Structure 1
Amino acid sequence: MKKAIRFFVFIIFFNACSLNLQAQDNTLKNKSDKVEIINGKKFYLHTVLKKQTLYAIAKSYEVTIDTILALNPEAKQGIKTDQILNIPILGDKKETIFHKTDAKETLYAIAKQYNLEVYDLVKANPELSNGLKEGQIIIIPEKTTKNIQNNNIKPNGNKQTVTNEKPCSPITNKTSFNVALMIPLYLEDINKLDLREIKVVEKYKKNKSFTFIPFYEGVLLALDSLQQIGMSVNLYVYDVEKDTNKLATILEKPEIKTMDLIIGPFFHEPLKKTVTYAKPLNINVISPLSFDNSLLISNANVFQVMPSQHKQLESTANYIMQNYPSSEIIIVHNGIEKDLSSVVLLKKILDSLTLNKAEVKIYKEVNYSKEGIAGIEQYLSEEKENIIITFNSNEVFVMNYVRNLSALINKYNIILFGPPNWRSFEIVETDYLQKLKLHLTATCFIDYENPNVNNLLRKYREQYYSEPDKYVFQGFDEAFYFLSILKTYGKDFENCIASDTIVKYKGLTTHFKFSKSINNDGAENNFTTIYKYENFKLVEVSTKDQ
């Protein structure tokens, strides 16, 4: 009898295992072999079988039910036999986030929702350069996310959270730090100067040996301020020019390995070599003045202070979209090759911010050298605001150009945008710039009505008996910002600076807000100051959410 019972139990167990194996086999068989590319993404086209459930389908494709519902909203009312469902092909990317766009949703809004830049979305979804359409499925690249709504689904069904490889928390056991400043001082050239022959101070300032000394002086002023709050810095200053052979000798010095932070070098090739050297030693490197962000790729220990051209144009485009959403946009250039690359980049950014490019053409383009002022006027609207973005840095051209535009302001509401160097033009009449409501961008904006700016001016004059230039302010801001973070979080602050742990910081002239495209990349400063002529002075009007 016991044998019979034991045999009966064995039969039940064997049948249960067989049923389980059969169920697993059916799960694999139910997986569709039909694949379709939708908006550049690969999807299985799954045909619902009789009595098949969402749970079984999700299990077959190793995704969540929420993912299926997000991509197939009609399935929320129940699935039917022979219904076609889009199932994402994830491959090895189990953490992929998909977003299905709603009506009137913009790329800018989506990017902000996930704490990304528009550029990040376009990079992960190249088809977005052709515009955003309702119901489009886009990939959200891996990065810090926030404010995730119901239509933003991860395959594992959980909301995404940010996790750093290393904890980001304040340090308490260190007050003294080693910092290297690799700056082009051209000391060999200084030694060759005969100061007896230089009778005017301004003449020697034009010598390249004195170009970056103001930056060094700004750093020293920052160290004075930090010393007052209890920070001790051992500053090692190295004369690093474009010669990488000279740099190699410096990198062989034993003290370099003890550095908690390296500021510089200022030029690309020596900076590249320093980044390569510092990476295995986990030393963070600051790129202080370069606009080239190529070294950020796969170098998490690099921080670029100057926003790249893409970031600057993106800030301008976002500002226009936020403040003049219904305006006419006209892009003006002279067909010069170096300007055309900027025009192409701006057009891509504007396209990515457009809800539906196929229906709404949001900008016009004018080659001024061929079409002249008439080419611009043909696109001006008497009812709307007219944004004119101009790519030309020739002072004589700009002088005549703004005069011709000013002749149209009685008939049209014109708002002019120009490159940063227009501010230094001396022969262009300010009255024209005022009437055209000229907007400019800057990575460094000195507001002489700021009392803190005036405090630094006073200290600099007392200490160096001269007037500070922009490099003094940049040296101060960059040193004060990064050394303050070093004091608070230690040398491993790279996990903090691009996260919510460190909020954006407004320096005297340079503002800081860093982000990374992906976790393994370095961080780039996103903040570009936008200001305009108002009451015959420059007033900052940068977007609040930069």
Structure 2
Amino acid sequence: MISVRNHRPQLSGNKWLILVLVAVIGACSPKVQPVSKPVAKTKTEKPDKKPEDKPVNKPSAKHSEAKPSVISLILPLGLDHSVAGQKFSRAGLEKANMSVEYYQGFKLALDSVAKEGANFKLHIYDSKDDAAQAHSLGLNPQIKASDLIVGPIFPEDIKAFTSTLGKRGKPIVSPLSPAAPATFKNPDLVTIIPPLEYHAKGAATYIVKEEKPKKIFILTSGYSEEKQYTSPFKQTVDSLSKRKIQVITTTISRGNLTPLVKQLSTSDQNIFVVPSTKQAFLMVTLRSLDALAKSYPVTLYGHPNWEKFAFLKATLLQRLNTHITSSDKVEYKNGNTVNFLRSYRKVYQAEPTDFAIKGFDEGLYFAKLLADGEDMTHPEFDDFRGLHNSFHIIKKRGEGWVNSHVDILKYENFYLKKTE
């Protein structure tokens, strides 16, 4: 567990470190104190005529007598930069802020489950975004003995940590990295953020089942990295359609789509898949598709990162009937989200970020498993609908578990909406 000196660091207006200090100190208590529960509905009871005789949130005997579940949370806080005479780099400060935001969401989730009487002991460790430090933490006997380990965050730190931790027999959660499980080959690892492979599989499954095309055109820029998307995409289409759907992969140069025109339909939707993230290629190719769409029905499926690209305009994407996959689309008008936002603002006096929302979802999911007495040496991961994504966790032989669920989004009224 990390201990931090109580003097105030020189960080010119950055208030995040105060939250870090609260986080570290608060995490030392063996039982997390309850707050109002944002997502999962709880049973309500009629108040007793003499409330002093029966506390409203009295834990059940089952939970009260149970040994607390120990959770180790490993984050790149970089607390060594908080001492007098030290300062954060811009990148270091961003990682520290991300860590605090994730922690706050995670702890709010533990609080909501603790309200029902569950008992947790949360330890926080600083990985410093340093492979050597992560390697050292893997030798820590307290971490090894935890019921659940969450972190480290970054792939290189996960590699270093798991290499010394060895086979533990209990879950190690990779909370924010979409790196493929094959990168680590650790049978205890749980990858929560779906890797690119599952975005490709999700898009392929949706196209086969919903679009039912005769042909699919994959337009590539020629970069080998695009095979990380195109290979699982084609494999999924071939498997689901029993090779009845023709997948045509073409490298496009300077937006020239002329060689494909003879293969296009004038009545049915022509399905195009563009796995590139290169700005120059996308700008030229999508303009060519836009011109093509004046004569042929066009439906476009793109890379999940497209949502982040300001250079891709919603007007163009909507004209191309564009779909993308997503694993972090938050519906802010949803009732559960509204409840979470209200609780988060009340506790932290701040707006939650994406990292806080992911911390909450993941904290709630695993806290419920622990509270329900799940055998973490042979866990059964049930499906779960979170605020940012659903969890459908599958077993990968020799590589642990991975969340395979992605949402399909479509541009409607210049806004990305879920189609399923």
TM-score under structure 1 length normalisation: 0.59
Letter in 2 for 1:459: S
User: Structure 1 CA distance, aligned partners of 2:125 and 2:276?
Assistant: 37
1:374 to partner: Cα distance:
2.4
Over the residues paired in the alignment, what is the CA RMSD in angstroms? 2.9
Structure 1 residues 282 and 319 mapped into 2: Cα distance closer, same or farther (>3 Å)? same
Pick from 286, 294, 298 the counterpart of residue 414 of structure 1: 298
Letter in 2 for 1:181: L
1:296 to partner: Cα distance:
7.0
Pick from 349, 352, 359 the counterpart of residue 475 of structure 1: 359
Letter in 1 for 2:182: S
Structure 1 residues 205 and 433 mapped into 2: Cα distance closer, same or farther (>3 Å)? farther
1:509 and 2:385 equivalent?
A: no
Please give the secondary structure, in 2, of the residue aligned with 1:212: helix
User: Structure 2 CA distance, aligned partners of 1:334 and 1:253?
Assistant: 46
Letter in 2 for 1:514: I
Letter in 2 for 1:537: Y
User: Structure 2 CA distance, aligned partners of 1:508 and 1:410?
Assistant: 38
Please give the secondary structure, in 1, of the residue aligned with 2:317: helix
Structure 1 residues 174 and 490 mapped into 2: Cα distance closer, same or farther (>3 Å)? farther
Match of 2:35 in 1: none
Pick from 436, 454, 473 the counterpart of residue 338 of structure 2: 454
Is the Cα contact below 8 Å between 1:330 and 1:379 reproduced in 2? no
Larger Rg computed on CA atoms: 1
1:346 to partner: Cα distance:
2.5
Letter in 2 for 1:289: L
Match of 1:294 in 2: 182
Structure 1 residues 392 and 252 mapped into 2: Cα distance closer, same or farther (>3 Å)? closer
CA shift digits 1:347-392 (9 cap, x unpaired): 333333332x4xx561222222256232444432112211111022
1:405 to partner: Cα distance:
2.1
Please give the secondary structure, in 1, of the residue aligned with 2:332: coil
Please give the secondary structure, in 1, of the residue aligned with 2:299: strand
CA shift digits 1:427-453 (9 cap, x unpaired): 332112122221111121111221222
Structure 2 spans left out of the alignment, 5+ residues: 1-61
User: Structure 1 CA distance, aligned partners of 2:239 and 2:127?
Assistant: 41
Structure 1 spans left out of the alignment, 5+ residues: 1-170
1:396 to partner: Cα distance:
4.8
Letter in 2 for 1:310: E
User: Structure 1 CA distance, aligned partners of 2:238 and 2:196?
Assistant: 17
Match of 1:349 in 2: 236
Match of 2:269 in 1: 385
Pick from 257, 260, 266 the counterpart of residue 153 of structure 2: 266
User: Structure 2 CA distance, aligned partners of 1:418 and 1:405?
Assistant: 13
How do residues 175-186 of structure 1 correspond to structure 2 at under 5 angstroms?
176-186=68-78
Match of 2:409 in 1: 531
How do residues 12-51 of structure 1 correspond to structure 2 at under 5 angstroms?
none
How do residues 286-435 of structure 1 correspond to structure 2 at under 5 angstroms?
286-290=173-177, 291-294=179-182, 297=185, 299=187, 301-355=188-242, 357=243, 360=244, 362-369=246-253, 372-435=256-319
1:457 to partner: Cα distance:
2.4
User: Structure 1 CA distance, aligned partners of 2:222 and 2:344?
Assistant: 44
TM-score under structure 2 length normalisation: 0.75
Is the Cα contact below 8 Å between 1:311 and 1:526 reproduced in 2? yes
User: Structure 1 CA distance, aligned partners of 2:163 and 2:226?
Assistant: 33
Pick from 81, 94, 98 the counterpart of residue 189 of structure 1: 81
User: Structure 1 CA distance, aligned partners of 2:359 and 2:414?
Assistant: 29
1:222 to partner: Cα distance:
1.1
